[in-house]
Amino acid sequence: AQSVTQLDSHVSVSEGTPVLLRCNYSSSYSPSLFWYVQHPNKGLQLLLKYTSAATLVKGINGFEAEFKKSETSFHLTKPSAHMSDAAEYFCVVTPIGTGTALIFGKGTTLSVSS
C-alpha cells in the first residue's frame, strides 16, 4: 500500500530563515511525488513534482525538494521564508502505473513570523 507521512503537523519559522517540511513515503512501486500548497480559502496549488528524473526538484516560489530513495523521503525546503509562505503544505504520492488517485499526507501548517 502507498502512503505518505508528514512528520510535523505545524512548523513555525521567522521571516528570512530556512524552511524544512518533512515527508516520508511508502510505496511498492516507483512513485511520483508532489508537494501542494493550500492558502486560506484557496484551492490546492502544485509547488513541485518528482517523476523519476532529477532527484533534486525545483518548484515555484523558491521551494525545492530532494527525493532520497534510501531514506524514502521527499522533504521540502526553502532557503529563506517569506510571510506569504504561511499556508498548509501537503506531500502527495501516486504510484506510477496503478491509477491516478493521489494519496495525501495530513498536511503541515507553516507559520511565518516577522
Partner 1 sequence: EPEVTQTPSHQVTQMGQEVILRCVPISNHLYFYWYRQILGQKVEFLVSFYNNEISEKSEIFDDQFSVERPDGSNFTLKIRSTKLEDSAMYFCASSEAYNSPLHFGNGTRLTVT
The residues binding partner 1 (CB under 8 A) are 32, 34, 36, 41-46, 49, 51, 90, 94, 96, 99-107
Q: Report the C-alpha gap between 108 and 34 in whole angstroms.
A: 14
CB of 16 to partner 1, least distance (A): 29
Q: Which is nearer to partner 1, 48 or 112 (CB)?
A: 48
Specify the 3-state DSSP secondary structure of 100. Answer: coil
CB of 78 to partner 1, least distance (A): 20
Q: SS3 breakdown of the chain: % helix, strand, coil, rounded to 5?
A: 10, 55, 40
DSSP state of 29: S
Q: Which is nearer to partner 1, 17 or 45 (CB)?
A: 45
